[in-house]
Structure 1
Amino acid sequence: MTRHTEHGHHSSQGHSQGHGHAAHGHGGDAGEFDWDVMGPMLERNGELGLGQYGEAARWVAGLPTAPRVRRVLDIGSGPGVITCLLAEVFPEAEVVAVDGTPALLERARARAERHGLGDRVRTLHAELPDGLSRLGEADLIWAGNSLHHLGDQRAVLAGFAGLLRPGGAVALVEGGLPPRQLPRDIGIGRAGLEARIDAASADWFAEMRAALPDAKRETEDWSALFGAAGLEPRGTRSFLLDLPAPLPAPAREHVVETFARQREVLADRLAAEDVAVLDRLLDPADPAGLYRRDDVFVLSARTVHVAGRQ
């Protein structure tokens, strides 16, 4: 399963929340990337969202219905940024980074060692949904921006439910709001560039979902889907990432990488004028480009849905 964990909304907008390629039967994704380049980028970008995700994880830990957490499965861990965060928020727990890309699991192991968490963080190479039975029991299953890369989401949620210990919970990060990184009118091209990118990304996302193995369309009523899986909804909350202009260098580089990914994936879905604007934005020498603008920011919201074993 590919977890494109963007600070934003749909996966075509880049990999950027610290979770990278998770595990599924979609096959072939890992070969598309140079992980010596992509891995460090995922890790750097994931670190930008640590405040947002830390708040989310602490909220999950503080719910009145929260179980005592001794084992966590981080589904689609990527390079382990959120895995290590979960190990810090749940200090009594073993946290298992589950991913389908060995290169990213190696980064997760190295990160855990650097952060003094090597004795509690371990990694598991698994392809979902086929590998669900290999994951073992858990008190908390954290699935951040990964379920939508599995064709039969309802069946996978039921599989998660079967792994939970009594009182255990699933924390599902899905949805939120599309990111904004530039003003509506940036002074070049037509105003509203990001809104048009959102529309193109939504089309790309729908086609990606339809092409997944065993793809089934679902109304994204997560409470209803939890109930169908035998889980009891326990809360939903959104968490904000707000990095105002002027951005520090790592955040600016994240924005550049995001727009570069959009240019790569969505160029044939955008008007030629918008592609030309993206080229200018990505040009380090252009005074109107992302490297030189003083009005670049990062603003996004991610939504976390929690349900527990009935």
Structure 2
Amino acid sequence: MAHEHHPDHQHGHHDHKSQGHGHGHGHSHDHADIDWGEMAPLLEAGAELFAPLYERALAWLAKQRTAPGLVVDAGSGPGVVSCLLAETFPGARVVAVDGSEPLLERARARAARLGLADRFDTLAGDLPGVLGDLDHPADLLWASRSLHHLGDQRAALAACARHLAPGGILAIVEGGLPTRFLPRDIGIGRPGLQARLNALEEEWFAEMRASLPGTVDETEDWLALLTAAGLTRPRSRSFLLDLPAPAPGRARAYVAATLSRVRAALADRLDPTDRAALDRLVDPDDRASVHHRPDLFLLAAHTVHTASRAL
């Protein structure tokens, strides 16, 4: 797993690798087809861009659990948030868990660059079973967009709950709003392009979920699911990333890469007009592209749901 798995990596309801997770590889939903080593730079750049959002979310978590001994990032990807967890909780040991060894290599390298290696470990394997390889129960288990890439989300939450220490917190990032970067009318093609892309991504996500081994349809009431897992004090809070127009260069690079992957993933679902508009939006030589547009922005909302294991 990793952190941004939806064709648009930051699609509000589902994005991820999700931890997973799959990223725009056409109609195939087999994560084994994904070259996570190749995906790593985009995953890393995206997580770095969203770091202010994650930092606010982790500060909120720190008010709930001030001094954890063991923090687990379940579906860590290249370790950007794992390292933020280590910085937020300076007394904690952090374990980054992911199914991709190339991504875990990047996580270890990042921790070393930031001077965190002495309390930073990695664990390779698939969720949730790999959590059984932890040396100790977790005081904080963070899972960002990983659960929706597991067929039986209710069972996965129950497994995560079993690996919490008494008083430990499970924090999952699921839901929010689709990330937006363009106004409704962009002057090329038909108005409403991004809304139509979001609708296609919802279809993609439903097919991805249906194709997972042992998939179970589940009402996405995350607080109720956390309670059903035997946890207490469920709560939710959403966090915003607002980069207004004209967006900075790193946001432009991220949007261009994201739209290129969406274009590749959804090519045969797009009507010709929208396909042509996307081609222009990702062409750096086109003045109407996201590389040059003065109206490009980035607005995202991610929701964090938490609950605790009873003491």
After TM superposition, the score normalised by the length of structure 1 is 0.92
Residues 114, 7 of structure 1: alpha-carbon distance in 2 compared, 3 angstrom cutoff: same
Report Cα offsets for 1:30-88 as digits up to 9, x if no partner.
Answer: 542261x421222122111111000001101113xx36311011011011000000000
Report Cα offsets for 1:250-290 as digits up to 9, x if no partner.
Answer: 11100001111110111222212111110111111112111
Residue of structure 1 equivalent to 2:298: 298
CA contact (8 A) 1:245 1:294 kept: yes
Structure 2: state its 5+ residue gaps: 23-27
CA distance in 1, matches of 2:181, 2:63: 31
Aligned Cα RMSD in Å? Answer: 2.0
Moved beyond 6 Å, runs of 4+: none
CA contact (8 A) 1:67 1:169 kept: no
CA distance in 1, matches of 2:110, 2:143: 20
Q: 1:183 and 2:195 equivalent?
A: no
Tell me how many residue pairs correspond in the alignment: 301
Q: 1:115 and 2:117 equivalent?
A: no
Any residues of structure 2 matched to 1:165-176 within 5 Å, and which? Answer: 165-176=165-176
Residues 27, 14 of structure 1: alpha-carbon distance in 2 compared, 3 angstrom cutoff: closer
CA contact (8 A) 1:226 1:233 kept: no
Q: Say which is worse superposed, 119-128 or 108-117, in terms of deviation.
A: 119-128
Report Cα offsets for 1:77-109 as digits up to 9, x if no partner.
Answer: 011000000000011110100000000000000
Offset of residue 241 of structure 1: 0.6
Report Cα offsets for 1:190-233 as digits up to 9, x if no partner.
Answer: 10101000100000000100111110010011111011110113
CA distance in 2, matches of 1:186, 1:214: 42
Residue of structure 2 equivalent to 1:145: 145
CA distance in 2, matches of 1:299, 1:99: 28
Residue of structure 2 equivalent to 1:198: 198
The percentage of counterpart residues that share the same residue type is 53
CA distance in 2, matches of 1:28, 1:260: 20
CA distance in 1, matches of 2:137, 2:21: 18
Offset of residue 8 of structure 1: 3.0
Offset of residue 27 of structure 1: 9.6
CA distance in 2, matches of 1:195, 1:8: 11
CA distance in 2, matches of 1:28, 1:142: 24
Q: 1:7 and 2:10 equivalent?
A: yes
Structure 1: state its 5+ residue gaps: none
Offset of residue 2 of structure 1: 4.9
CA distance in 1, matches of 2:260, 2:148: 23
